Amino acid sequence: MTASAQSRDMLRIAAAAADAKGGEDLIALDVSQPLPLVDIFLLVTGRSERNVAAIADEIEDKLLEAGHRRLRREGRQESRWVLLDFGDLVVHVFHEQERVYYGLERLWKDCPVVPVELPAAAPAE
């Protein structure tokens, strides 16, 4: 199995939202083979707890605005690792230290990487 068009569209929305709030090191993994209920994991790093919370909130807001339903949210209180479950797309927004410690990229290393397309930056005037 491979990630659906809908999950790729959700990824595009989530990645743009993360980028708009300073999310770094965005990596998307196609986990549809080992996880039949999820297509894509998006991993994002924030520089501080406040940044992690802002990134997660923006992603959640943009996906909700696009009509996608959130199934679950965890970790918002501490904002060290926020998990947003939108069914086909699960977003993990990490503080830098948690991203290194938990190493989801290593855990899911056999899964294909999905290209993350970010909006082009506006030219400086």
For residues 39 and 89, give the distance between their C-alpha atoms in angstroms, rounded to a whole number.
Answer: 6
- pLDDT attached to residue 36: 82
5-114 CATH pick, 3.30.450.30, 3.10.180.10, 2.40.30.10, 3.30.460.10? 3.30.460.10
Q: Which helix (H) or strand (E) holds 106?
A: helix 104-107
Q: In this predicted model, which residue has the larger pLDDT, 75 or 121?
A: 75
For residues 100 and 111, give the distance between their C-alpha atoms in angstroms, rounded to a whole number.
Answer: 18
- pLDDT attached to residue 2: 80
28 falls in which pLDDT band (50, 70, 90)?
Answer: very high
- pLDDT attached to residue 121: 61
Q: Is the pLDDT of residue 125 over 90?
A: no
Nearest to 42 by CA among 88, 110, 98, 95: 88
Domain residue spans of the chain: 5-114
Task: Please state the φ and ψ torsions of residue 23, each to the nearest 5 degrees.
Answer: -60, 140
1 falls in which pLDDT band (50, 70, 90)?
Answer: low
Span 64-120, pLDDT tens digits: 999 999 999 999 888 899 999 999 999 999 999 999 999 999 999 999 999 998 877
